[in-house]
Every structure is written in C-alpha cells, then in structure tokens.
C-alpha cells in the first residue's frame, strides 16, 4: 500500500507582497494629501463667499432704491459695522465696498488666518456688472451679475477659489 503525502498549502502573504501593498498605499497617500489640503483651503475661502452673499443683497437693494448715492451710504455703514467686528469672523480680516466710479459696489473680502494664502494677495472681490459694464446711474437697468474672477479684482490663487470664481 502506497502512502501518499499531501503537502499543506502555505497560508499568508510573502514579504514582497506586503512591501508592494505598502508602496501602493504610500503612492496613493502622496497623491491624496495635497488634493485634500487644497480642498480645505477652498472651504476656508468659501467662508468669504458666504459672507459676501448678504452684502450682495445690500448693494443690489440700495442701488435699486437710491442709485450710486445709496451704495456710498451703504459702504459707509458697512465700514462702521466692520470696525465693531460684527462682519469679521476669524477667517475674514477686512470687508469693504467700493464707492468710486471704477469700483462702484465692488465687495472686497480680505481673508486672513489661512496659512496657505500669502499675507498679500488674499482678496476675494465681487464686482457688480450690468451687461458686462460697471454699475452706475447711467448703467442701471438690467440684472446685476457678480464677477469674482481674478480679472474682477480677486487676488487669490485660482486653485483655491470657489468654482464660480475660477477663470
């Protein structure tokens, strides 16, 4: 009678297989981490966009009711309120509304406390336009469109801007 010897299959992973898995995880982490960091900065910059949304309504309403003079008085009111720290949460260091012919109604949100943004070049600007032109008493009929692209005064790097503000 012949005895057959059965070999038991080896269970587990070899060292090479484990090293390959660790290398793949390392590569994926190296790709994902910078993308995640950009995402967190974009979320912080979006706080400025949210703060501007209420100001957009104010600019639009005062312009509709009182024209350019209304925007000038609204800008003064916002400047006074900002000095009382009511409009500047931790990521926003300054808020202003333009009241000259070249920047009439432009809402400028200066961001601070975001390490990835430089000390200068951290302004998120929303420029009101009617049919592509700056608002004025002469150009006052139509719908106001808000431009926050870098061409409109925004100085933040495009990769950190909300989707509506990217060029």
What CA–CA distances, in Å, run from 139 to 63, 64, 67, 99?
A: 11, 12, 10, 15
| pLDDT (average), residues 58-64 | 91
What pLDDT sits at residue 105?
92
| 54, two tokens | 């209420």
**Sequence-distant (≥ 6) Cβ neighbours of residue 159 within 8 angstroms:** 38, 42
Query: 51-83 as b/e, with b when 16 or more CB fall inside 10 Å?
Result: bbeebbebbbebbeeeebebbbebbeebeeebe
What pLDDT sits at residue 21?
95
What pLDDT sits at residue 62?
92
Question: Tens of pLDDT along 27-41?
Answer: 999 998 888 888 899
Q: Which residue, 64, 51, 67, is CA-closest to 125?
A: 51
What pLDDT sits at residue 27?
94
What pLDDT sits at residue 123?
92
Comparison of pLDDT for 90 and 166, the residue scoring more = 166
53 pLDDT exceeds 60? yes
């Amino acid at each position: 009678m012949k005895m057959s010897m059965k070999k038991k299959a080896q269970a587990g992973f070899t060292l090479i297989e484990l090293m390959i898995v660790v290398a793949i995880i390392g590569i994926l982490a190296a790709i994902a981490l910078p993308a995640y960091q950009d995402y967190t900065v974009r979320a912080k910059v979006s706080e400025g966009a949210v703060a501007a949304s209420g100001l957009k309504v104010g600019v639009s309403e005062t312009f509709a009711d009182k024209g350019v003079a209304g925007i000038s008085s609204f800008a003064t009111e916002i400047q006074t309120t900002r000095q009382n720290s009511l409009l500047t949460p931790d990521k926003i260091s300054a808020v202003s509304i333009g009241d000259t012919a070249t920047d009439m109604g432009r809402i400028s949100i200066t961001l601070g406390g975001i390490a990835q943004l430089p000390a200068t070049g951290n302004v998120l600007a929303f420029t009101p336009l009617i049919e592509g032109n700056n608002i004025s008493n002469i150009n006052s009929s139509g719908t106001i469109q808000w431009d926050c692209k870098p061409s409109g005064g925004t100085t933040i790097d495009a990769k950190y801007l909300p989707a509506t503000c990217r060029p």
